[in-house]
């Protein structure tokens, strides 16, 4: 009877204590979050309840399973299994706590700064910091798990002795991966590109959606995702339309006849941008920028607060200006000038002077 009750008491006490501590910690964090709603850290730390309970329960079982006298023949295996679970749960808890601290810091920064460029830069940096911390914790946890096996402990000395050679071999084999890793850190802290930036890479226009230690994802205007290694952005030129601010200037070109009413077009452009919600009110203009033997090139200029609004403003100006010209000034649209071709002179049948061939007139009707 004692062999049955003792394990039940040990396991039950560990579970009850774990649930009680988890409830108390969650209640304290909930009350702290209610008292200080401007500090999101307490609410974010509530996500650590499950890994905290797992750490506490595993630690209690690891410390008391020998007193329970369960499966004495497999005592070493049970202890090693509990140790592995404890190491994994501690790593999980450490990642959750670091993520909560980093996200809380970013939320406070974003709430106190109104500059979108600086906020996106900090967001990119904290995202990569989270990934670096998670990677480091994962590697340390995996190493600690391996060292719980006696065979790995015995091989530790030889592994350390050959660490230099292994490091060189690993560096050569993982040259591309390491290059992307350092490129990711360079992007994060060099402020080259940030999450939310509008970029043009390989002729594709899109918004940076995700930055990791090895790759970068760009979401295009038609909802496609372009995944590129981060080393691309440190080795090749690319356009960053959000660098130094999100405000943009857009142009619309019209090829018109020389008789186009430029002054009236300028007044109409002012009317169009004034009624356009995408225009930010900073600047607008219309000027003749080039001429050809048949047409003139008229450039309309508008401004907007970001890439999406500048696209909307440009298409609005283009559509409404063409419709207005077609309705009120159709003569201003480009035309193709034609004329009768001069035919070569033919010799006279009576030996006289040359005569011109009559122009070809197409026949109509029957016959």
- Domains detected in the chain: 2-112 (no CATH), 116-125+155-245 (2.30.30.60), 248-332 (3.30.70.100)
Look at residue 249 in the predicted model and tell me its pLDDT. 86
pLDDT at 72: 53
Interatomic CA distance for residues 257 and 247, integer angstroms:
33
d(CA 96, CA 53): 13
Cβ contacts of 78 within 8 Å, gap of 6 or more:
65, 70, 71
The total of other beta-carbon atoms located within 10 Å of residue 140's CB is 14
d(CA 299, CA 252): 6
Could you tell me the mean pLDDT of each successive run of 10 residues in the chain, 367 residues long? Answer: 62 80 84 78 81 84 67 65 85 87 79 70 76 81 78 54 49 52 66 79 82 80 82 77 75 92 93 90 91 90 86 92 93 76 61 53 44
Handedness of CA 251, 257, 261, 263 (dihedral sign): positive
DSSP reduced 3-state for 353: coil
3-state secondary structure of 207: strand
CA distance 32 to 57: 25
pLDDT of residue 71: 53
pLDDT for position 183: 67
């Amino acid at each position: 009877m004692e062999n049955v009750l003792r394990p039940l008491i040990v396991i039950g006490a560990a579970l009850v204590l774990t649930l009680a501590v988890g409830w108390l910690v969650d209640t304290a964090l909930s009350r702290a979050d209610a008292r200080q709603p401007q500090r999101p850290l307490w609410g974010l730390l509530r996500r650590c309840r499950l890994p905290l309970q797992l750490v506490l329960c595993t630690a209690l079982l690891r410390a008391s399973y020998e007193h329970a006298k369960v499966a004495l023949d497999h005592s070493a295996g049970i202890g090693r299994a509990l140790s592995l679970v404890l190491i994994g749960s501690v790593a999980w808890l450490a990642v959750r706590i670091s993520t909560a601290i980093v996200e809380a810091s970013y939320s406070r920064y974003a709430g106190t700064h109104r500059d979108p460029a600086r906020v996106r830069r900090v967001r990119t940096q904290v995202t990569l910091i989270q990934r670096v911390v998670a990677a480091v914790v994962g590697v340390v946890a995996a190493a600690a798990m391996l060292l719980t096996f006696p065979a790995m402990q015995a091989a530790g000395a030889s592994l350390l002795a050959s660490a230099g050679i292994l490091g060189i071999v690993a560096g050569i084999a993982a040259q591309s991966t390491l290059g992307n890793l350092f490129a990711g850190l360079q992007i994060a802290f060099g402020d080259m590109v940030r999450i939310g930036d509008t970029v043009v890479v390989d002729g594709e226009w899109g918004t940076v959606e995700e930055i990791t230690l090895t790759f970068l994802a760009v979401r295009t205007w038609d909802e496609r995702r372009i995944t590129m290694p981060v080393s691309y952005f440190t080795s090749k030129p690319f356009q960053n339309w959000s660098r130094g601010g999100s405000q943009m200037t857009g142009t619309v070109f019209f090829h018109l006849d020389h008789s186009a009413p430029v002054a009236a077009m300028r007044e109409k452009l002012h009317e169009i941008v004034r009624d356009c919600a995408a225009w930010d009110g900073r600047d607008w203009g219309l000027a003749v920028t080039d001429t050809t033997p048949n047409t003139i090139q008229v450039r309309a200029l508008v401004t907007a607060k970001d890439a999406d609004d500048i696209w909307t403003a440009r298409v609005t100006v283009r559509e409404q200006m063409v419709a207005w010209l077609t309705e009120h000034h159709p003569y201003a649209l480009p035309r193709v000038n034609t004329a009768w071709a001069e035919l070569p002179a033919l010799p006279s049948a009576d030996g006289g002077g040359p005569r011109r061939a009559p122009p070809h007139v197409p026949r109509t009707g029957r016959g």
